[in-house]
Chains A and B, each alone.
Chain A
Amino acid sequence: MVVAVAEESRGGDHARSWIEAAKSDYWQLIDTDHLVSDLYNLVNVPQAIWIDERGIVVRPPESAGSTDHFRRMDLATRTLAPDDMAARLAARQAYLDAVRAWVRTGKHALPAVDAAARQPRVTSEIAEARARFRLGVWLRRHGRAAEGDAEMAEASRLHPESWTIWRQAADLDEVGKASGPQFWARVKALGDKHYYPPARL
């Protein structure tokens, strides 16, 4: 069973066109407060978690087949070089193949000790960032944009690794800002660090 969770503080209507285009028969959930990011300590989208029949996490959060090839995108044409596009599609296919193998045979499920070791650790700064983000979204929803933005800015300062906090705040400020010049500047500032750390299959 696939469960897709839209981290979408503007609400379901903002995600509806994508969901309807997908014509999916699985759950398409709307998470306006980013509860799933809070519970599972996520930092980006898309991230995936594999959960077995007992309700046990057998693969903690990881990049769901996405790669960093987009960082070499030609921003004028929004296109990738053919080699980068091919590598990106190959990585996505490899990840989807791994998911299918797990469903059929159990392959790629991690032993409990390894799964526990890979769980991302919540710090007190991250916990505070989540609370401030929750408050910021509420304030935005209730017409208190300046206060909300201040809370979300502080959340992003406390948890700079969270792209979901920064990008959601940017989107609430202005649609499109989450993938605008400031986003690309932040991506460039990563240097040698990954935007999408490869899943270790």
Chain B
Amino acid sequence: MTVILTDRAEHRVTTVGTFLSAADAERVTGWTLKPEGMCRDEACVPLPAGAVRGGAVDVAAFWRKLGGPVAATGAGDVLALGAPAESRNAALEGLEAPDFTLPDIDGVPRTLSQLRGRKVFMATWASW
């Protein structure tokens, strides 16, 4: 069992190396394996040679092709797929506030977009 971390989720999947079943690859990345590559909405990203084997996808190779960073433990049992810089920049330059859900101090999930219609002053802090 391998743990794959994305910016918003933690997945536990069966892997062979960094190969996942197409279904797990879709669940983790949001991209679907098709003959033309990994696809989402109208976009398709051709996969590098050797990145599909017996219906399984090399998720690390795909993610790097997408422009995203992959960090992994030495044992390969935990991978973190970071957001590609260009997708972050596109979102920031578009000015729509990136949405997120986080728990409040009592564990109640709060979603930023629930506050649409109100001005929001968002500030970070830390105890350290």
Give A residues with C-beta under 8 Å from B.
1-8, 10, 12, 14-16, 18-19, 27-31, 33, 35-42, 45-57, 60, 64, 99, 102-103, 112, 115-116, 119-124, 126-128, 130-132, 134-135, 138-139, 144, 147, 151, 164, 167-168, 170-171, 175, 178-179
Contact = CB atoms under 8 A, between A and B. Distances in A.
Nearest to B81: A131
27 contacts: A2-B121, A3-B120, A3-B122, A4-B124, A5-B125, A6-B124, A7-B126, A8-B128, A19-B105, A36-B122, A38-B7, A39-B91, A41-B88, A41-B92, A47-B123, A51-B122, A53-B117, A55-B96, A64-B123, A122-B85, A127-B69, A127-B83, A127-B85, A130-B7, A138-B80, A151-B71, A167-B126
Contacts of B95: 56-57, 112, 115-116, 119
B119 A135 contact: no
A127 B71 CA distance: 11
B69 to A, nearest CB: 4
B56 to A, nearest CB: 22
A42 B124 CA distance: 9
A149 B51 CA distance: 31
Interface in B67-107: 67-74, 78-85, 88-89, 91-93, 95-98, 100, 102-105, 107
* Interchain residue pairs A-B with the least CB separation, the first 8: A131-B82, A171-B128, A128-B69, A178-B128, A135-B80, A39-B98, A119-B92, A51-B120
Contacts of B73: 135, 139, 144, 147
Interface in B108-126: 110, 112-113, 115-126
Given A35-B8, A35-B100, A134-B5, A122 B71 contact: no
Interface residues of B, number: 53
Given A3-B112, A116-B93, A122-B92, A30 B103 contact: yes
Contacts of A130: 7, 69, 82-83
Contacts of B84: 127
B3 interface: yes
A122 B117 CA distance: 29
